Structure 1
Amino acid sequence: MAQNEKVPVKSEQLEEDTDAYDNLLLVKGYSPRLEEFSIEMVTALKDKLDLAERNLNQTEKRVKEERQNLIAAQWAFHNSILGCKGQVISQFGVDSNEIQSLGLKKKSDYRPRKRKVKTDKKTA
């Protein structure tokens, strides 16, 4: 029986099991002593496996779609905030307390550039 039922079965093993199941359906006169290994029980488990795989695939597809919706909503919100910051700058100016409250620096908070002193390097 199974060694560790907490980890998924490898895909190669599942392929082998599916092939064995298909071949088991072709065996004439198969009648196990234990009912849990009957064709009906094994078929029910195979159907349960197929349904679980289908549900997982559909759920993964929905998760991808919702992730894309989330990303689109994030960018729409981000672009809206950038637009609001631009509107606050145009309405109140680049040196206002209002733009500072939005996380931007006032123009007067930046250090002024230092002028470069030109030196004459003419030699005769």
Structure 2
Amino acid sequence: MARNQSRRLKPAILQADEKSFAALQVIKSYAPVNQSCAVEAIRATRRDVTRLRELEAEAVAAATTAREKAVAKEWEFHNLMLCAKQQVIAQFGADSDELQLLGRKKRSEYKPPGPKAQ
């Protein structure tokens, strides 16, 4: 048995297992004492692996789609907030308390430019 069964197997190992299973099915006199190693048990587990891989691929695709939708909505929200800040400046002015409520500095809070070095 493998030591760490929580990590994925390398594709080369799985391909070797597939080849071995194909060869095992050809052996007509194969009759294991441990029935969990019987061809039918292995075939059923192989079907489960295929089905679960398909489910995993569907879940990854669904997660990717959900992430893309969330990113699009985040950008839409951000752009609308930028628009709202511009509208507050247009309506109340660049030195208003309303603009400060939105997390922006008032124009009067910025330092005046210093003299130019010559």
TM-score, L = length of structure 2:
0.90
- Give me the whole-angstrom Cα distance separating, in 1, the residues matched to 2:107 and 2:30: 86
Task: Write the letter of the residue equivalent to 2:22.
Answer: D
Shift of residue 62, structure 1, vs aligned partner: 1.1
| Alpha-carbon offset, residue 20 of structure 1 | 0.7
Residue 15 of structure 1 pairs with residue 15 of structure 2: yes
Q: Deviations over 1:14-66 (max 9, x none)?
A: 11001111121222232222211111111001011111111111111111111
Aligned length: 118
- Calculate the aligned-residue CA RMSD, in Å: 1.6
User: Max radius of gyration: which structure?
Assistant: 1
**Aligned to 1:13, what secondary structure does the other structure show?**
helix
Q: By how many angstroms is 1:83 displaced? A: 0.5
Give percent identity, aligned residues only: 32
Write the letter of the residue equivalent to 2:41. Answer: M
What TM-score, normalized by structure 1, do the two folds share? Answer: 0.86
Unaligned runs of 5+ in 2: none
> Any stretches of 5+ residues in structure 1 without a counterpart?
119-124
Which moves more between the two structures, 68-77 or 33-42? Answer: 33-42
Deviates more, 1:24-33 or 1:83-92: 24-33
Pairing 1:102–2:94 present? no
Q: Aligned-pair distance for 1:117? A: 7.8
